[in-house]
Amino acid sequence: MTDSARIVRRHPDELVIGLVSVSDRASAGVYEDQGLPALREWLGSALASPWQAVERLIPDERERISQALIELVDDNGCDLVLTTGGTGPARRDVTPEATLAVGTREMPGFGEQMRQISLRFVPTAILSRQVAVIRETRSHAALIVNLPGQPKAIRETLEGLKSEDGAVLAPGIFAAIPYCIDLIGGPYAETRPEVIAAFRPKSARRQARG
């Protein structure tokens, strides 16, 4: 299978996820990438329904990032694309611009919530420029979300923050992602509630089997 081949779903509800790590040095082999392993590990712990991933490790180059996102959605048929890295104010940080360039609709709530979570730890969270968009083609649509670059921050923004007794202090953004994918025509994804409870209105929930 080539990188541009459409992914074959092994189950009707299988979620196809594009994972993109943006880093000049990691893509050049200067150091080992941490973003892709962190994303794989978290998704493996959080998703209760079937999924498979298509991965890219690319440098901080706007055209390369945009092209990767287009290929993952249009050619590979990803339902969700998660990027990590390249969202700060440095001049080489161009992931948000590359993402906005390929989106057909912006989803500002994701970036707002990610910054709210990070602000609980560092005041420099306001320097983060993560965005989220929907990319639509004639027959397919996908949600694309920029995540932070550090594994700890990736987990916190996806999963949210909980107190020692398990109470939710700040909702993670992944709680809204399965329903968003429903609304744009993607598969019905389910999560493990002990990690992150996906929220859907009652009218959108499937009846429990058995």
The backbone torsions φ and ψ at residue 95, rounded to the nearest 5 degrees and listed phi first, read: -60, -45
The CB-side HSE value for 39 (13 A sphere, CA atoms) comes to 28
pLDDT in the model for residue 68: 98
**What sections of the chain are H helices per DSSP?**
24-27, 35-46, 62-70, 95-102, 108-118, 151-159, 177-183
pLDDT in the model for residue 162: 81
Neighbours of 162 (CB within 10 A): 12
Collect all residues with Cβ–Cβ distance below 8 Å to 115 and sequence separation of at least 6. Answer: 125, 126, 128, 130
Ranges of residues in the chain with a pLDDT under 70 are 1-4, 208-210
Q: Which residue has the tokens 């397919």?
A: 140
pLDDT in the model for residue 163: 82
* Separation CA 190–CA 32 (nearest Å): 31
Domains parsed from the chain with CATH numbers: 15-202 (3.40.980.10)
pLDDT in the model for residue 210: 40
Question: pLDDT tens-digit profile of 17-57?
Answer: 999 999 988 888 878 899 999 999 999 999 999 999 999 99
* Separation CA 142–CA 148 (nearest Å): 20
pLDDT in the model for residue 4: 59
pLDDT in the model for residue 2: 40
